[in-house]
Amino acid sequence: MNRETIEQRLAAVALPGHDEDLVAAGRVSEIEIDGGEVTVVLALDGFDREARHAIEDAVLAALEGQEGVDDVLIEVELESMPEPPPADDGVTMYGGGGGGGGGGSKPAVKPPKNALSEVRHLIAVASGKGGVGKSTVAVNLALALKARGARVGLCDLDIYGPSVPTQMGVAKAKPGVSASQKRFVPVEAYGVSVMSIGFLVDDDTPVIWRGPIVSSVVKQFLEDVEWGALDYLVIDMPPGTGDAQLTLSQSAPLTGAIIVTTPSELALIDAVKGLQMFRKVDTPVLGLVENMSHYICESCGHESHPFNTGGTERVSAQFEVGMLGHIPIDHAIQRGGDEGRPVMATAADSPQGKGFDAVAAAVIEKCPFQAEEGKKKGFLANLFKR
């Protein structure tokens, strides 16, 4: 498999609404071949989300399964191509094109502003396996960042087990729709903008989707939600290393990923897989969070380690990735999540709350933001109290 062969395969991909193919139209910006991994960079300005997804699916179908191709990665550029010419009626639909003339020289309609254009940092919270408290960490990290003066959004992409609405106390809420951009408007909870697939499906309805649909939903939650101006968008990922993780890393400018694990050796084995997956797709790993790290007896104050100890530090040293924090196992965290009252919203000064605050401080150190003046003063005052 070489560049010429790949271009021949891509030349068979027709552009929706156009007579030209992908290559003839100059929409293939770059082709990279690394062993059996092929990366195709596409310039798809002027096409709406459905047309872009259709083109990406056609590219995958053209290349996957070919001799010498083990994996296909698609990257999309949205600012390198000129807008398509106006249609006959003088109004250009994003996937339209063609025509020209009839309506005179009316300008093309510009596509809406990128939904993530005002988001400074996109932080993925991931885990190699389920059951390690990833969503709990994502929820309380978002609230801890908010408490430190940041503007924060929380995107629940845990497609098969969305628990963020319950943990944030908005399980019965429904997102709005903006009239101007035709995008979802997130639900507000504890001062954080929240969007979740859990708002759109019934509690007792299982989500049974194959990979392409999962990838489409991930893209829609990034492109079709009115996130507005945020310092941090915390993204709660599904556990594992599947379609959602790959689509997110290819579709969004992630600042970095946080890997959540417990001290258990079984959890650490899968945490390493998640860590290596993000590195493979060139997403920085900001660090590890050890959840359920230890238990402190309320009666005598003795600290015990029911799930082992030292393993996370070993992984941290072996793979040269920092430790962001240790979160104790405690009934207040569990009950707070069940009742829609996260510990960072109700008991930020508790040992559990301070654990999440330490993670937020470590994230801010790696990914700084400029707080508004009033918020900055409040943050410094709280800092000196600690």
Residue 10 CB coordination number (10 Å): 21
Q: What is the pTM of this model?
A: 0.66
Long-range contacts of 363-368 (CB under 8 A, 24+ apart): 363/123, 363/141, 363/145, 363/232, 363/258, 363/286, 363/324, 364/145, 364/148, 364/150, 366/256, 366/286, 366/287, 367/121, 367/123, 367/232, 367/255, 367/256, 367/286
Asked which of 91, 111, 131 is the last residue of a domain, the reply is: 111
Are residues 107 and 156 both part of a single domain? no
The CATH number given to whatever domain includes residue 27 is: 3.30.300.130
pLDDT band of 209, cuts 50, 70, 90 = low
Mean model confidence pLDDT for the chain: 79
List phi, psi (to 5°) of 33: -120, 120
Write down the pLDDT at residue 198: 85
**Which of 151-160, 172-181, 207-216 is predicted with the least confidence, judged by mean pLDDT?**
207-216
Report which residue type is found at 328.
Answer: P
Q: Shortest CA distance to 185 belongs to which of 203, 199, 171, 201?
A: 199
- Is 81 a residue whose pLDDT tops 70? no
Mean pLDDT, rounded, for 168-189: 86
Are residues 241 and 313 both part of a single domain? yes
The CATH number given to whatever domain includes residue 229 is: 3.40.50.300
Length of the chain: 386
Task: Report the number of distinct structural domains present in the chain.
Answer: 2
Asked which of 111, 139, 163 is the last residue of a domain, the reply is: 111
Mean pLDDT, rounded, for 215-222: 76
Mean pLDDT, rounded, for 350-366: 93
Are residues 208 and 266 both part of a single domain? yes
- Is 53 a residue whose pLDDT tops 80? no
Are residues 105 and 87 both part of a single domain? yes
Are residues 295 and 377 both part of a single domain? yes
The three-state DSSP-derived secondary structure of the chain is CCHHHHHHHHCCCECCCCCCECCCCCCEEEEEEECCEEEEEEECCCCCHHHHHHHHHHHHHHHCCCCCCCEEEEEEECCCCCCCCCCCCCCCCCCCCCCCCCCCCCCCCCCCCCCCCCEEEEEEEECCCCCCCHHHHHHHHHHHHHHCCCCEEEEECCCCCCCHHHHCCCCCCCCEECCCCCCEECEEECCEEEEEHHHCCCCCCCCCCCHHHHHHHHHHHHHCECCCCEEEEEEECCCCCCHHHHHHHHHCCCCEEEEEECCCHHHHHHHHHHHHHHHHCCCCEEEEEECCCCEECCCCCCEECCCCCCHHHHHHHHCCCCEEEECCCCHHHHHHHHCCCCHHHHCCCCHHHHHHHHHHHHHHHHCCCCCCHHHHHHHHHHHHHC
Top pLDDT among 92 and 123 is at 123
Q: What angle do CA 116, 344, 311 make, to 5 degrees?
A: 90
Are residues 158 and 104 both part of a single domain? no
* Cross-strand partners of 39: 32, 73
CA 119 to chain centre: 12
Top pLDDT among 377 and 192 is at 192
- Is 144 a residue whose pLDDT tops 50? yes
Are residues 175 and 299 both part of a single domain? yes
Instruction: Evaluate whether 357 touches 344 at the Cβ level (below 8 Å).
Output: yes
High-pLDDT (> 90) share of the chain, %: 31
Write down the pLDDT at residue 87: 33
Are residues 65 and 146 both part of a single domain? no
Asked which of 111, 133, 168 is the last residue of a domain, the reply is: 111
pLDDT band of 83, cuts 50, 70, 90 = very low
Are residues 155 and 80 both part of a single domain? no
Top pLDDT among 24 and 82 is at 24
Summarised one tens digit per residue, pLDDT across range 328-349 is 888 888 888 889 999 999 989 8
Summarised one tens digit per residue, pLDDT across range 266-314 is 889 989 988 888 888 888 999 999 999 877 777 777 677 777 788 889 9
Are residues 92 and 175 both part of a single domain? no
**Which of 108-122, 184-198, 254-268 is predicted with the least confidence, judged by mean pLDDT?**
108-122
Instruction: Evaluate whether 255 touches 122 at the Cβ level (below 8 Å).
Output: yes
Structure-block tokens of residue 193: 């903008």
Are residues 290 and 378 both part of a single domain? yes
Q: Shortest CA distance to 71 belongs to which of 62, 63, 80, 59?
A: 63
Q: Which of 23-32, 246-255, 306-315 has the highest mean pLDDT?
A: 23-32
Instruction: Evaluate whether 236 touches 138 at the Cβ level (below 8 Å).
Output: yes
Instruction: Evaluate whether 246 touches 91 at the Cβ level (below 8 Å).
Output: no
pLDDT band of 48, cuts 50, 70, 90 = confident
Write down the pLDDT at residue 123: 95
Summarised one tens digit per residue, pLDDT across range 316-330 is 999 999 999 999 888
What is the span of the domain harbouring residue 60?
A: 1-111
Write down the pLDDT at residue 366: 92
Rounded to whole angstroms, what are the CA distances from 170 to 133, 280, 335, 342, 346? Answer: 19, 36, 16, 12, 16
Question: CA 257, CA 85: separation in Å to the nearest integer?
Answer: 40
pLDDT band of 35, cuts 50, 70, 90 = confident
Are residues 151 and 288 both part of a single domain? yes
Write down the pLDDT at residue 98: 35
Structure-block tokens of residue 157: 């992409």
Mean pLDDT, rounded, for 15-23: 86
Write down the pLDDT at residue 381: 40
Structure-block tokens of residue 89: 């009626």
Top pLDDT among 93 and 222 is at 222
pLDDT band of 82, cuts 50, 70, 90 = very low
